[in-house]
Amino acid sequence: MAAFVDRVTVHVTAGNGSHGVSSVHREKFKPLGGPDGGNGGDGGDVVLEVDPNVHTLLDFHHSPHQKAGNGKQAAGDYKNGGRGEDRVLRVPPGTVVSVGGEVVADLMGAGTRLVLAHGGKGGLGNAALANARRKAPGFALLGEPGESVDAVLELKSIADVGLVGYPSAGKSSLVAAMSAARPKIADYPFTTLVPQLGVVRSGDVTYTMADVPGLIPGASTGKGLGLQFLRHVERCAVLVHVVDMATMEPGRDPESDIVALEHELREYGGDELDLVSRLRIAVLNKIDVPDGRELVDLVRETLEARGLQVFPVSVATHEGLDQLGFALAREVEQYRASMPEVEPVRITLTPRAANDDGFTVEPDPRTGGWLVRGTRPERWIRQTDFNNDEAVGYLADRLNRLGVEEGLAKAGAVPGDAITVGDVTFDWEPTLPAGTLTVEETAGLGGRGTDTRLENNNRLSADERLAAKKARRLPYEVAEDGWIDADLIDGTPER
């Protein structure tokens, strides 16, 4: 099995945030010292990082499932949990990341990082939930689960010069002769099963050369090794067609080989990539074989008429390799000069909106009730411990302040309707305060805005409260003076 993998699907899962802690401070002579539960730690992220020392995606082929560390557990005495360990996946330069069929990143440059899956947020402890009205919360928020993403990693080799041509045309031999690379060389088709890269130095110019596995007619539709390796020519500045001058196959000649190759490049790249315009040089290989040199003279004019530079070479004797190397160096230098100057990568910080109150209320055909969608409501649902009544009440208060209940009322929801938020479905019992809606909007909400305590006004007046206070002091007056004045009870003492 070849030790080169250029396309793989990875299943990554970020770390879960740990739960907050509900705790009460205990100390001698302080039985109720107040809440001191710490916050849970955030889960670790799954990060892709470009490493020039990595040349293949083989590691992810054998281990496609990757997971970051969970957040560390919190404790009482205000001890917050630590953040989970990030899972850093090192990928080679030129890795294209796709999620759901859509390209999300093209990773270039050493050290470039992409957070593929974000870790879950840790839950708040009861110390962080305490306020002036809720001085000692008896609950804490749960940690959120980390994101799970299925991504496709696709490697597109980065090389200045790409060698293309029919199988056994001598591409691997040419790379071995011009660089220190040592690809496998044999006398049968498709010897090269993976792209081979070599570094070539011609004068003062150093460039990389890639040997792409042999292409045959129909490669753009997946025939042979076509689609599997055509992606590796997309980033090449110059494409070189290596022509076999010693082929004995019927119906093949240098011109027909180039016509077939241009057709496959045009079908694969289209007008967007325009790969045919990069095919500028034709290398007529194996001129040392009998009749090979004579065949060069027959096809040179035809190939030059197509706009190609023709270089007859012999890998066995190294004839013509120096001239080819300098020609490739000139083409690479021209390409590099035409490219815009690379600007330093700027780190962009995009803070989240502090008042992102967006949510929608829509009918739910599954339950016949209503479906509430929104980032904040769904996150609050995940953070709530539904086994704790106080936590459920806190959730109801948060949804009310956000305006969810008002939105439900305006949409036409009535008490008892099934309301679904995230993965939780519950029966709606409105808790809106009086006066938030109009009379028409509150008509169907079961007497909202009324309070039976207001119908029976049993509140004492100020004089009555004063008389009751003095009556409570009566036993102390008797104990000190030994007498009692009946008028004291009426609030008008006389001595």
Residues in binding site for GTP: 165-172, 190-194, 211-214, 285-288, 314-316
Q: Which helix (H) or strand (E) holds 399?
A: helix 389-402
Residues with Cβ within 8 Å of residue 229, at least 6 apart in sequence: 6, 195, 212, 213
String of DSSP letters for 337-365? HHSPPPPPPPP---PPPTT----EEEEET
Q: Which helix (H) or strand (E) holds 420?
A: strand 418-421
Residue 8 CA to residue 62 CA, distance in Å, equals 10
The residues facing 310 across adjacent strands are 282
Q: Which helix (H) or strand (E) holds 177?
A: helix 171-178
Q: Which helix (H) or strand (E) holds 255?
A: helix 254-273
Residues with Cβ within 8 Å of residue 218, at least 6 apart in sequence: 224, 226, 264
Backbone angles phi, psi at 43, to 5 degrees: -75, 155
Nearest alpha carbon to residue 23 among 80, 75, 82, 81: 75
| SS3 state at 279 | strand
Q: Which residues are annotated as a binding site?
A: 165-172, 190-194, 211-214, 285-288, 314-316
Cα dist from 448 to 413, 431, 434, 451, whole Å: 14, 9, 7, 8
The residues facing 46 across adjacent strands are 87, 117
Q: Are 319 and 287 in contact (CB under 8 A)?
A: yes
Neighbours of 156 (CB within 10 A): 21
Q: Are 255 and 303 in contact (CB under 8 A)?
A: yes
Cα dist from 125 to 18, 184, 202, 389, whole Å: 11, 62, 66, 16
Task: Kindly give the pairing relationship between strand 161-164 and strand 238-244.
Answer: parallel
Q: Which residues are annotated as a binding site for Mg(2+)?
A: 172, 192
Backbone angles phi, psi at 161, to 5 degrees: -125, 130
Q: Are 324 and 313 in contact (CB under 8 A)?
A: yes
